[in-house]
Structure 1
Amino acid sequence: MDGAKAGFKQAASERKQALGPWGIYPILALSLILLMFVLVATRKPRIFTGWDSINHKAESGLSVAGIGMSILFFAIPANYIFCRYYVCRQPEKEGPANSLLSWKAVNNNTPWAEIFMLGAAFSFSYSASACELNTYLADSMSSDTKGFNMNNFICGALLGTLWTTLSPATTVAKLALPTMVTAGNSFSLPFATALHNQFLLPVSSPANTIIAGWGNVRPFQFLLGGSVLALFMFCTIAGFTILFRTTVL
Structure 2
Amino acid sequence: MPTENPAPRTAVIGLGAMGLPMARRLAAALPVTVFDIAAERRALVTAEGAAEADTPAGAARDADVVLLAVRDQAQVDAALFGTDCAASVLRPGAVVVLTSTVGPEAARATADRLAELSVHLVDAPVSGGPTRAGNGDLLIVVGAAEEARALAAPVLLRAVQGSTTVALVTTAGLVTPLLARTDLSPQQLALVCLAMGAGGLSVSHINDAGYWMFTKLVGLDVVAGLRTWTVLTTAMGLIGFALTALLWQVM
Question: Do both proteins adopt the same fold according to a TM-score greater than 0.5, normalized to the shorter chain?
Answer: no
- TM-score band (shorter)? under 0.3
- Larger relative strand fraction: 2
- Greater C-alpha Rg: 1
> TM-score normalised to the size of structure 1?
0.28
Higher RCO, Cα 8 Å, sep 6+: 2
TM-score, normalization by structure 2: 0.28
Q: From the two aligned structures, give the one with the greater helix fraction.
A: 1
